[in-house]
Amino acid sequence: MSGAASSLLLATRNPHKTAEIAAMLGSGYAVSDLTTRGDLPEVEETGRTFLANATLKALAISRLVPGLVLSDDSGLEVDALAGDPGVRSARYAGVDGDTAANNAKLLSELAKLGSEQPLSARFRCVMVLARAGEVLAHFDGSVEGHVRVVASGVGGFGYDPLFVPEGHQLSFAELAPEVKNSMSHRARALAQAVAWLANHPSPNSAVPDNWLANGAENP
């Protein structure tokens, strides 16, 4: 498929998420986010699940702008912590988006467990695609692995220095971006969104030629 890039507004002000999604989609999409739209409101994430929060953001923003809006809510679930930080991942330590504080709190909670064994965990991502105040579809991706009690690596963002995906020895923060993006929770949810768009074509929802070439895989 060729032609002009399709516009896709991400309902986020997190530049790291935007960069990851834009890199995975490639040149077939003109990706923007809410950092370019000071006229649009902050949407309070009051839901108790990833799906609820992603839906809140997608609906609120899509009522105010034309075209397709994609939102996501994602986080780290540690089994030994009963699924925490979970839906509170971005504000685990009390301040939204304070990565250093969130990681410090997670390390503190892990230390209380006193376990020397790898602690099973997963990253989860739920994406919601909406237009004109209507949910078109939602998608769920996850990647299994374990958490470390010592951070390692300087790449990625969020809890990436503490998470080692299944089948690897390096953390998400140590893996090359293209390796992470080929298996991540966000890549897997996004692959489903692109597949859905391929089966529901519209002038604003073309699938880029280079999607599979970018290395993303279906879950």
Q: Which of 33, 72, 73, 84 is catalytic?
A: 73
At a CB cut-off of 8 Å and minimum separation 6, what does 152 contact? 161, 170, 171, 173, 174
Q: In the numeric block, which tokens belong to residue 104?
A: 């410090």
| Dihedral angle of Cα 97, 100, 106, 111, to the nearest 10 degrees | -170
Residues 174/151, Cβ–Cβ less than 8 Å: no
Which residue, 94, 150, 153, is CA-closest to 119?
Answer: 150
Please provide residue 30's backbone torsions phi and psi, each rounded to the nearest 5 degrees: -95, 100
Q: In the numeric block, which tokens belong to residue 210?
A: 């280079």
73 is a catalytic site residue:
yes
Collapsing DSSP to helix, strand or coil, 88 comes out as helix
Longest dimension (CA), the chain: 56
SS3 percent helix, strand, coil of the chain, rounded to 5, is 35, 25, 40
At a CB cut-off of 8 Å and minimum separation 6, what does 203 contact? none
The set of catalytic residues is 73
